[in-house]
Structure 1
Amino acid sequence: MTESRTLFVSIACYRDPELIPTLQSLIDEAQYPQNLHIAVCWQDDNPTSALFTDAGMQLVEERVEEDHTLFRFHWRQVQLEVIAVDYRHSQGACWARYMAETRFADEDFTLQIDSHCRFIHHWDGEMIAMLEGLRRHSEKPVLSTYPPAYDPQDDPAKRGQFVSRLIFREFSKEGLPMLSSVPVKSEQPVRGSYIAGGFLFAGGRFVREVANDPQIFFAGEEIAMAARAWTHGYDIYTPHKILLWHYYGRKQANKIWGDHTREAKNVGEVAMGWWERDAISKKRIRSLFDLEIVPVDPGIYGLGSARSLRDFGRLIGVDFKRRAVLPEVLGAEKTSVFPPESWPDDEQWVQRLISPFRKTVTLKKEAVAALMPTTDWWYLGVYSAGNRLMDEKKLSPEALEKSLNISKNDEFSLDIQFSTAPRFDPAVVRLCPFSESGGWGEVLEKPW
């Protein structure tokens, strides 16, 4: 019965003033708060129990464990454990998730979130019922997506009122799929392919089988977790109704890449700069997808044996080696899951692949502005290292002037997106003016 099912909640928190309001919403809106076991990896400046006791929580235990302090609190029938770490000792988002997971006690369900969320009324009962309803379709279902947004400065008035599903956005420079989302309307959970780090709900054994890799820093965690989950036999679904909200952007919030800087490392405040941890992380993720010449052994944080990485690529319409996708992935429907019965054979797969490219090129305003009055149109071309044309288009003076006016400094940006057969990589961008009276002007060239 739902009333007796236990639920482990894992929260990663980095210097976040939203932590206490998130905990309050999590507990206040729970249907069965007595079944919750919450674990927070709290990375902050001089973290003490006062933040929690001042909020009305009862401190039950405090003990020092290696390089952190463990606090245990009771609050409104809930068991709350806080792993308190000086933020200068943080090792990244997935390390914090991993630390929180060390408190897992074989609960029936697990919920992974960030420390800036709000929840619907009886969210726990809703999540459990939705997940259990999927058992007739999958032995190991997972609920995950990007929740709609909220704004703590105007809450609940600005809470988003739509659900969305995760889709492929682009390849990172390391060749890793990066994600976005589009709205979806459905009467039942929608089959998906991707996992969102800020909202994941599954059976409790997920924590044991697909534990967070503490050496994954931040970017790339979601595609890595999705591949690992799927190859361990898990099927991912997008909830068809709102279950929680998430605070995006957080422009004024402290971030680890703003703290773990070169200067902080030089004076001994941090052991490693964020970029160093990020490089280690990217190599581990690339190794997971067989993209490294000399791969890293992931140990227990590798792929599962229930299904193959090749078939995961076929499921999501992505070819990791070729940095290419099926056209439907980028099309109007933004297809994110291809059932096994729709998988093309190897020859069709290769023939249908396209490589998406996306780049923001920065140019000097003065190099363009002076030519605007005499130019009828502008040529924009993208070329490979062998000077092969990959994409070209005409830009009107009005379109270019709009880009000039958006920028407030002496440079402006051009956003370039195109797709082509996966044969070459872009190397250079060329912008050239043309006038009917004077012909071609001087070519402006920028590396890709």
Structure 2
Amino acid sequence: MVRENKDNSATIFISIASYRDPELLPTLQDMLRHAAHPENLHIAICWQDNEERNIFEQAGLEPAGSRTVAANKVFAYRYHQARIDVVSVHYYASRGACWARNLAEALFDNESYFLQIDSHCRFVPNWDEEMISMLQQLRVTSSLPMISSYPPAFTPGENEEASKSTYVSRLIFREYNKEGIPMLSSTPFEATAPIRGSYLAGGFIFTDGGYVRSIPNDPQIFFAGEEIAMAVRAFTHGYDIYHPHKPLLWHYYQRKEHNKIWGDHTNQAKDDGVVEKAWWEWDHVSKKRVRTLLGLESENAASLAPYILGNRRSLRQFEYQAGIYLKNGTVLPEVMGPELTSFFPAPPSDEKAWFDRQYAYHKKTITLNASEYSTIEQDMNDLHLSVYNGQNVLLYKRTLGIEELKTLRKKSPDDGLALSIEFKTASTVHPTVVRVCPWSTESGWGAVTEKAW
């Protein structure tokens, strides 16, 4: 049953995972300052920090008791009429982003709408009304619409307002990582209405509240793979993803000066007994679960219950829509071409022809340091670059002349020589090694330098 407040305004459940983030409180303050109806907001925060909760009261949040939910202590606050619940855990006890999101989702109280964000955001005026209005308009074309994107960027500080970018972007396929998991990127677009997409962003999801019940975050997914896992689960449960055509909020990217879990949950921290596992151990389990969900492991995806695919649409239908073939690690040419297509509205009429058009794309930049190239420049006529797979089969080759090398040298950082490699193969072979060798008409072939792919 959908709960609405006494003035008949729809309520919003807001899930925030925050890891040692000094931007959490500024995010809350900005969110509530710009909300049209702060009284309708229920904000659930998984706060992974040092458990010194006095910072909330110092910021003006009024304590409203505590309770236990799913074996976790929850501290309640009121702030600018909003209801705020905080699950407080020490950062050494964290198990990653989706684990934290899952803990926050346990506090869902049948609100009308669901918003998932990161803890370093800023918001447009009346963002709550704007999001609800946009979602309602999408119901003309979708019974289960969802709004998601990488929000435009901002940088906190004195020039915060001026730093807020005005572009909007849509999510696109970037590459398969070494585990065969699709990784995403984005590209700007201009439109007068939201556009359809295939991928969602973990840092901004807005949809109906029922989403929390039907597609909760898998707490064993650490970080990488979160977005493709949630995208295929949402799709197979019948949700349609749209990218907003105007800014609704901003996101602080990079945050190099802020603490991250991989900087805390190290091998040394494990040896010292302060964490159960190093971050990469959680990450290993996580990626295996994502691979299982995507049908890339021998285990049946049903073993991941309840964090499984839906039965409204199939994984193959998702592949058709996104233009990717997960098993082979390939994509359609349009996906990587100038169009950067991420949404194909109709399935292929000829599946074999669709398979035949798939390619594996490989992209990498290697850097030769000064000792690896300076001794060969004097009498070199050109530089030969070759890429091989694990069976020593040549996949790609390229010859760079002296003038091209001089241009690259000027553009390369420090004393290195950066060589960009990009090619595609029709088969599922994977690059393993890059070999670089100079050629001189006077002295012939020089020494071979090898770099791992």
Question: Of 15, 39, 56, which aligns to 1:52?
Answer: 56
What is the CA-CA distance between 1:273 and the residue it aligns to? 1.1
1:408-427 equivalence runs, <5 A: 408=414, 413-427=418-432
Aligned residues between the structures: 445
Report the TM-score, using the length of structure 1 for normalisation. Answer: 0.95
Distance 2:406 2:274 in 1: 46
SS in 2 for 1:374: coil
Question: Of 290, 301, 306, which aligns to 2:307?
Answer: 301
SS in 2 for 1:191: strand
SS in 2 for 1:157: helix
1:208 maps to 2:213: yes
Distance 1:226 1:337 in 2: 13
What is the CA-CA distance between 1:339 and the residue it aligns to? 1.1
Question: Of 231, 243, 251, which aligns to 1:226?
Answer: 231
1:235-274 equivalence runs, <5 A: 235-274=240-279
Matching residue's letter, 1:428:
V
Gaps of 5+ in 1: none
What is the CA-CA distance between 1:430 and the residue it aligns to? 1.4
What is the CA-CA distance between 1:322 and the residue it aligns to? 0.4
Matching residue's letter, 1:326:
L
Aligned equivalent of 1:387: 392
Of 144-153 and 429-438, deviating more is 429-438
Distance 1:320 1:344 in 2: 19
Matching residue's letter, 1:129:
S
SS in 2 for 1:348: helix
Aligned equivalent of 1:197: 202
Q: Do the aligned partners of 1:318 and 1:326 also contact (CA within 8 Å) in 2?
A: yes
Distance 2:203 2:339 in 1: 24
Of 291-300 and 32-41, deviating more is 291-300
What is the CA-CA distance between 1:404 and the residue it aligns to? 5.5
Gaps of 5+ in 2: none
Matching residue's letter, 1:333:
E
Aligned equivalent of 1:162: 167
Distance 1:189 1:356 in 2: 29
Distance 2:70 2:183 in 1: 36
Aligned equivalent of 2:136: 132
Aligned equivalent of 1:35: 40
Distance 2:438 2:115 in 1: 55
SS in 1 for 2:306: helix
Matching residue's letter, 1:72:
A
1:84 maps to 2:94: no
Distance 2:397 2:199 in 1: 33
Matching residue's letter, 2:318:
F
What is the CA-CA distance between 1:349 and the residue it aligns to? 1.4
What is the CA-CA distance between 1:387 and the residue it aligns to? 3.1
Question: Of 117, 120, 124, which aligns to 1:120?
Answer: 124
Residues 302-341 of structure 1, C-alpha deviation per residue, up to 9 Å, x if partnerless?
1000000011011100000000000000010100011125
1:348 maps to 2:349: no
What is the CA-CA distance between 1:397 and the residue it aligns to? 3.8
Q: Could you say if the C-alpha distance between residues 371 and 3 of structure 1 is closer, same or farther in structure 2, counting changes exceeding 3 Å?
A: farther
Distance 2:167 2:185 in 1: 15
Q: Do the aligned partners of 2:69 and 2:107 also contact (CA within 8 Å) in 1?
A: no
Question: Of 362, 375, 378, which aligns to 2:380?
Answer: 375
Report the TM-score, using the length of structure 2 for normalisation. Answer: 0.94
1:335 maps to 2:345: no
Distance 2:46 2:286 in 1: 20
Distance 1:387 1:169 in 2: 26
Q: Could you say if the C-alpha distance between residues 313 and 94 of structure 1 is closer, same or farther in structure 2, counting changes exceeding 3 Å?
A: same
Q: Percent identity?
A: 49
What is the CA-CA distance between 1:402 and the residue it aligns to? 5.9
Q: Could you say if the C-alpha distance between residues 181 and 3 of structure 1 is closer, same or farther in structure 2, counting changes exceeding 3 Å?
A: farther
What is the CA-CA distance between 1:138 and the residue it aligns to? 0.5
What is the CA-CA distance between 1:447 and the residue it aligns to? 3.2
SS in 1 for 2:139: helix
What is the CA-CA distance between 1:407 and the residue it aligns to? 4.0
